[in-house]
Each structure stands twice: as C-alpha cells, then as structure tokens.
Structure 1
C-alpha cells in the first residue's frame, strides 16, 4: 500500500529497520465491547443449558401431572346419597294403599287338642282294663292317677303300681300306651289325666298284655 492511500498518521511503527522494513504493523485500537461480548455469549449459552437440564430432571422425578393426580383422587370418592332419594324412602304409603308386611307366624292359634288325639274319647270303653305305672312321678302318684280315672274319668277297671324295669326311664314325659283297636279308650284316659296328645301312642307290648291301656306317670297328676 502506498503512503498516499495510507489512512493513518505516521508513528513509531513506520520507522524502518536496518533492512528497510517497517518495525511493526499499525493496528486500530479495539473498543471495550469487542472484548466483552464473547464472554456474555458463553454465559448465556451455559445458562440456557443449565435451565434445560434442571427442567428435564424435574420432569423425570414426577411423571404424573398435578391435574391427573387431582382427577384420580376425585374418581376415588364415593358418591353421596341424594337427600331427595332418602326422603322419598321415608314417605308413608298413600291413602288406600296397604303395607305389604309378612304375617306373624308366631301368632297362629293353637289347634284343638281333641282333634289331635288318635281316637274319639266319647267312644271309649269305660270297662276296659287300665294300668297306671309310677315312673318317678312321686310317692302315691299312681294311686292319684287311679283315682282320677275312676272318678271323673268314669273307668271301672283301673290298677296302680310302680313301673317295671322295662318301662322305667323309657319315656321323658307322662305317656299313654294303648293296644290295637284301643285308640278311643286311650284318648279318654289321656283327656282325663291331661296328657299331651302327642304322647298317646300305640304299643305292641300293650296289645300282647291283658290290659287295654297303660299310663306311665313321669310327673304328678294334675
């Protein structure tokens, strides 16, 4: 470049050396911004990288969005009963409507005991032989039963004694046993002594004996 086109004034760098070449090259002084902006650029880039890394790591640690958690919690709540539905369930039946309630089976009227007897007491043979056995009813109860049958019962052939070994303890309640074709007479005996019709039973042992009816007393008469 010729000196006529050199835009700068002469200085120490224009002094020629021993070999005729310039000692240095003239350089324009640099501004302060040209020295600072590279550092600012590096700081901005590093800051952006740091923010992105923190955001990425935080997203991996909590994969469920808050909105999804709230939706899941709301779905687990049990629905509340409608006050209107509860009120409707307590309304009394309208006029003319009847409430369907099951009948109380415990209030059934007891059946007539006379219909449960195996025979007809009015058709009894009052002259048939009857034996009264005392099986733990207490002293003198066989004779007491004899007295009831011959008195109010109207029987004429009644004997009283203690129960033999084969009858002792065989029954839990006072029982009337009768032979074949003696159901009417046994029913009259049971009615006179107040024996439960369920304890009036036919017995082959009585059929084979000389008596028509046996009474096994387990409790006092009357």
Structure 2
C-alpha cells in the first residue's frame, strides 16, 4: 500500500526501522457483536445439552411420576384398597331343633303309669299296635295309644325316635328299650301335650 492510499494518520508505528519496514499497521476497530456472539453460542449449546440430558434421564415418563407425584396405577390401587369389600354371605343357620342320637336316662327309674302315644310314621301297617304291645309287655300300665301319624309329626325323622316331655328322660329310656329304639329326644311339643312320651315309628318292631 502506498503512503498516499494509507487511511490512518502517522503515529509511532509508522516510525521507520532499519531495513525500511514500518513497525506496525493499523486495523479497523471490531464491532461489539463480533465480540459477544461466541459467548452467546456457548450459552445456547449448554442449554440444549442440559435439556437433552433431562429428557433422556426421565425416559419420557409421566410428568407426575418424574416429579414424585402418584402414578395412575398407584392411584387405582389406593382406590381399590379403600373401597369396601363385598361382605361375605351369611352362613346357613342350624335347624332350631337338631335331633341327637342316643338315649339318656335310667330305664329302672321310669314312670310306668305315664301316658304314651305311638305314631306309625312310615312303618308297615299294624306296626303301631305291635309297638304298643311291646311297651305294655315291658311293664307299662298307663294309657298306650297306637295311631297313624296323620298330622305328619314324624316328618324329618329317618329312624324310630322316642320324643319325651320335660323330666321324662327315664320313662323315654324304658320305652326305647322296649321297642329297640336307639334315639330319644326331649321335645317341647310333647311337654305341652297330654302324653309323657310319643314314639315316632319308622320301622316295624322286632
């Protein structure tokens, strides 16, 4: 560049040194944007890297889960456990009167004058009379009434059963022994009746 085309005023850099070369040359001043854009570029890159790292670590899960909130499955489980469970069905109540097999009482202490009814409830025809004779032969002297079970008192019984009123266990035991019965049960219905013992006859005697 010739001196006539040099746009800057002379200064210490234009002082000649041995060899004739100038000490330095002038440069045009740099703008503020040219100094700031590298820092802005670094900030944008760092922000992008940080956002990408957070997205990768969260794995695309529900934002509520990423922030520690309850998930949908956890909420459903909590609702299921909080809801009242179906109440179980009530068990079937036992019968009001459960027949018990066996004979209690002392036949030797029986009241031989007690009134007795013999009901044929499924035994062969004439069985009630035969049972009444067997009871009389055992020493009973009271009224013995053989009848057919027309009122169905013996329904629900599967074997010959001696029913007796309150405090008549000894008498029932003697009747059961006379006809070969193995079941005797205290009955409130017999207690309220005119008989001390009622025989439900299911099979023939003897």
TM-score, normalised with respect to structure 2: 0.49
TM-score, normalised with respect to structure 1: 0.45
